[in-house]
Amino acid sequence: MSIFSRKPNDGSHGSKLIRRPMQYWMWLFLLPTFAAFCIGFLWPFAQGLFLSFCKFKITSVWEWVGFDNYVKALSDASFMHSFWYTALFAIVSLVAINVLAFAAAYALTQNIKGTNIFRTIFFMPNLIGGIVLAFIWQTIFDGILIAYGTNILLKTSYGFWGLIILMCWQQIGYMMIIYIAGLQAVPEDMLEAAKIDGATKWQTLTRITIPNIMPSITICTFLTLTNSFKLFDQNFSLTAGRPFETLADGSVIKTTEMLALNIYNSFYSNVTNRGVGQAKAVLFFVLVVIIGLLQLRATRSKEVQQ
């Protein structure tokens, strides 16, 4: 008798003698993870939600103010600016990262010499932390821009494209690995059938390969989109929102400030009421969840069942 003839449920796990106590004690095994989840996620989340309706300096001393913080957050010009700026950034980086990562993956699955070395090198930027990465790139950009008598902190567009380049450099390698895994899983027989039927390279790519790697595309677009929305470290250390634009009333729009940084800044600079920053954080959470779900749904429907 070989191992293959065993029915899936035939093992000792199926036995009543074992299943009963397991069902009985299941909660005990789940408890540590569940406790960690509560301590690390549920409780802070509930507390954060509550505090977004309060005026507070430190989290243990608060005063209930209702929707006040939300009204202030939504009427804050800098918050709205950072939202649109982030949205623009997310779209551009989503396209740039995925197109380039797919191209790299496609090239590196064509049996080129030294494929593994290329893969490793492309992946490496991903191992450097965001703050350090941004400082490295800041030095590079400034080194180039100083030749033209300017600096990355002087123009919004420099900051924008600088951050795009930085994020591409960091993320392409990672997405590339996911695409490579996807490309390697495309069934050989389908590709062979296409070849026999006389499909061109382009037809094979668009009709066979891409539909088959939809799961990879789902994951990669999801990751790049949410990464862009949640981006903080790189934004913080590359430009920290500069250049500023002073409005007529003296308030300041930080033109390259993204959502997460805006929340951080309004939390720490508004010393008499950190609730506004907290309310912004809740809005931010809702936004990221909605975008993530919509995007997942849109791409899932295009996946091919093999």
Q: Please, what is the minimum distance in Å from the beta carbon of residue 295 to another protein?
A: 33
Cβ closest to another protein, residue 7 vs residue 13 = 13
Q: Please, what is the minimum distance in Å from the beta carbon of residue 196 to another protein?
A: 49
Residue 230 makes contact with another protein by CB under 8 A: no
Q: Which of 5, 9, 23, 60 binds another protein (CB under 8 A)?
A: 60
Q: Which of 233, 244, 292, 299 binds another protein (CB under 8 A)?
A: 244
| Span from 91-99, 109-117, 147-155, 297-305 in contact with another protein (CB under 8 A) | 147-155
Residue 154 makes contact with another protein by CB under 8 A: yes
Largest Cα separation within the chain, whole Å, is 85
d(CA 68, CA 201): 59
d(CA 11, CA 137): 56
d(CA 137, CA 236): 13
Helix intervals (H) in the chain: 16-37, 43-51, 68-74, 77-107, 115-123, 130-145, 156-184, 188-196, 201-203, 210-212, 214-230, 233-238, 259-269, 275-300
By residue count, the chain amounts to 306
C-alpha count within 13 angstroms, C-beta hemisphere, residue 197: 12
Q: Give the x/- contact pattern for another protein in 256-295, rule: CB under 8 A.
A: ------------xxxxxx----------------------
Q: Please, what is the minimum distance in Å from the beta carbon of residue 236 to another protein?
A: 12
**Which residues of the chain form contacts with another protein (CB under 8 A)?**
55, 57-60, 142, 145-146, 149-151, 153-155, 242-244, 246, 248-252, 268-273
